[in-house]
Amino acid sequence: DQQVKQNSPSLSVQEGRISILNCDYTNSMFDYFLWYKKYPAEGPTFLISISSIKDKNEDGRFTVFLNKSAKHLSLHIVPSQPGDSAVYFCAASAKYNFNKFYFGSGTKLNVKP
Amino acid sequence: DVKVTQSSRYLVKRTGEKVFLECVQDMDHENMFWYRQDPGLGLRLIYFSYDVKMKEKGDIPEGYSVSREKKERFSLILESASTNQTSMYLCASLRQANEKLFFGSGTQLSVL
């Protein structure tokens, strides 16, 4: 039972344009959401997070949007750079079971120069 | 920032061998985790520990065990390695609820 889904396995974007990565979840108890970036043969690195009390969080080129009614979050990268090419995972957790993180299957972003 | 160190980046083992993967974190976090990552499957939780000597099974514990004798160290043990355990293994630590997981650099294990 996959509670967090990333339906796009891959995304290709031109350098300088916007990258939009999407994530859907099913559990309405999730109250904390995160995005991680992962390069091959390395561990995931934290990008940005959002609490369910907010609908937007911004950090430099990265913005995460949360739509609780649709159980959907998205990561916007503007402008995209070739160094952003990596696999992006979204994750969710709930305070009542905070040790359990649910990860999506990942979206591989390719930013073309 | 928190440092999570995994002892090996790459390991090659034979089927049936006992394999130890070590992980150390330096920020006094209570919670530590072992995940495996396979293409198209995301990160799947094997085991986690919320205190010294305390452990709980994750989603895919079969064929694995763990040990947490000291707060900073969390070990993953493959009792008898099999080829379907070839994977990227990721250790992580967490301070408390609604905070981020810190990951190590991963161990790419190949079982031949």
Residue A77 has pLDDT above 90, yes or no: yes
Residue B30 burial by Cβ neighbours in a 10 Å radius (0-12, 13-18, 19+)? middle
Residue A21 contacts by C-beta under 8 Å, 6 or more apart in sequence? Answer: A6, A8, A11, A35, A74, A75, A77, A88, A90, A107, A109
Which chain A residues are Cβ-neighbours of B106 within 8 angstroms? 41-43
Of A60, A66, A28, A30, give the one whose Cα is nearest residue A47: A60
pLDDT (average), residues B82-88: 97
- The backbone torsions φ and ψ at residue A96, rounded to the nearest 5 degrees and listed phi first, read -70, -15
pLDDT of residue B39: 85
With beta carbons less than 8 A apart as the criterion, state whether A62 and A70 touch. Answer: no
For A36-65, what is each residue's pLDDT tens digit? 999 988 999 999 999 999 999 999 999 999
For B16-63, what is each residue's pLDDT tens digit? 999 999 999 999 999 999 999 998 888 999 999 999 999 999 999 999
Least confident of A97-101, B35-39, B63-67, B85-89: A97-101
**Cβ–Cβ gap B103/A49 under 8 Å:** no
Chain B touched by A1 (CB under 8 Å): no
Q: For residue B93, what are the β-bridge partners?
A: B32, B102
Q: How far is A112 from chain B (nearest CA, A)?
A: 22
Residue A11 has pLDDT above 70, yes or no: yes
Distances (CA, A) of B82 to B7, B10, B112: 21, 16, 8
> pLDDT class for A98, splitting at 50, 70, 90?
confident
Q: What's chain A's average pLDDT?
A: 95
Residue B86 has pLDDT above 80, yes or no: yes
Which chain A residues are Cβ-neighbours of B37 within 8 angstroms? 38
Residue B67 contacts by C-beta under 8 Å, 6 or more apart in sequence? Answer: B74, B75, B77
Could you say which of B43, B50, B102 has the minimum Cβ distance to residue A103? Answer: B43
Residue B85 has pLDDT above 90, yes or no: yes
pLDDT of residue B42: 87
CA distance A20 to A49: 16
Token readout for B107 is 């161990």
pLDDT (average), residues A78-105: 94
pLDDT (average), residues A6-19: 97
pLDDT of residue A1: 67
Task: Report the SS3 class of residue A110.
Answer: strand
